[in-house]
Amino acid sequence: MQYKCLIIDDNEIERDALEMHLKKISQLEIIAICKNGIEAADFLSRNNIDIVFSDIDMPELSGIALLKSIKKHPLFVFITAYSEYAAESYEVDAIDFVVKPATFPRILKAANKAIEYLELKNKVSGTAEAVQEVSDNHSDHFFFKETKGISKLKYNDVIYIESLGDFSKIFTENDMHIILVSLKNLEKQLPKNLFARVHKQYMININHIVTLTTHEVHMNHNFIVPISASNRQELLESAIDKKILSRFIKN
């Protein structure tokens, strides 16, 4: 199956480079290429697109402003030279954020993430229900619905969770579960003393932390999860600082 995509960038060289990359991905069909956000807004109002690959910093109408302005949202992959836009892009539920210069491997990764989301959405559309946590506060496990049925997981078996828009990926040591519930809603249901949001797209089980660095959390079983500066500070204050061994002990 091919997915319709739109390219938006006010820089001709960047547009041509992105078009070259996307033409290598057989599951994508480039429907149109727009030079700015206003042109793209007009096109999107008249056409159905699955995935938009858009610059952010454009005159008159930025990529983020464009996404906010349209009623029917295709998936957006933002591609920009300014990494400081990352947090805002995830606030508007962009499926991915790519920092220029955008190499083919990075564009392929973003495209595959968008394609995976669309295929999951098509697969469960009309049949899957939103996941509901059905354990009580004293339980060590929870149940959730996935395409194969209702599954049970122990909280401590969950290493980390990745957002995929309306879906989430739950990673354990040897398995990965895809569930039809957003990370935002999972955060409200999972025990706050065990799970911490470390990024717009990631939540971790703090019992599986091995090493915390400036930009990453190294987890058990060799998993590595990115962490934002604000979430790192919050994690330190809420969980880690309380357990750091003190150099001095009062008698």
- Mean pLDDT (the chain) is 87
* Confidence (pLDDT) at 130: 40
For 45-148, where are the E strands, in sequence order? 51-54, 75-80, 96-99, 141-146
Per-residue pLDDT at 235 exceeds 50: yes
Going by pLDDT thresholds of 50, 70 and 90, the confidence category of residue 133 is: very low
C-beta contacts of 133-140 below 8 A and 24+ residues apart: 133/189, 133/190, 137/191
pLDDT at 137: 52
Check whether residue 13 and residue 88 sit in a common domain: yes
Domain total of the chain: 2
| Across 5-9, 133-137, 161-165, least confident range | 133-137
**66 assigned to some structural domain:** yes
Instruction: Summarize pLDDT for 35-90 with one digit per residue, the tens.
Output: 999 999 999 999 999 999 999 999 999 999 999 998 888 999 999 887 777 767 77
Q: Is it the case that residue 230 has pLDDT exceeding 90?
A: no
Tokens representing 219 are: 């987890």
206 domain residue, yes or no: yes
Residue 176 lies in a domain: yes
pLDDT, one tens digit per residue, over 204-229 is 999 999 999 988 999 999 999 989 88
Residue 166 included in any domain: yes
The pair of structure tokens assigned to 205 is 């089980």
What single-letter amino acid sits at 62? Answer: S
Q: How far apart are alpha carbons 24 and 151 in whole angstroms? A: 38
Report the CATH number that the domain containing residue 217 is assigned in CATH: 2.40.50.1020
> pLDDT grade, residue 131 (50/70/90)?
very low
Q: Which distant-in-sequence residues (6+ apart) come within 8 Å of 217 by Cβ?
A: 198, 204, 209, 211, 224, 225, 226, 227
- pLDDT-derived band of residue 147, with 50, 70 and 90 as boundaries? low
What is the reported pLDDT for 71? 83
Whether 34 is in a domain gets the answer: yes
Given a cut of 90, is residue 152 above it in pLDDT? no
pLDDT (0 to 100) of residue 73:
83
- 26 assigned to some structural domain: yes
Residue 242 confidence (pLDDT) above 90: no
Let me know: does 101 contact 55? Beta carbons within 8 Å.
no
Query: Residue 145 is part of which domain span?
Result: 141-243
User: Do 83 and 152 belong to one domain?
Assistant: no
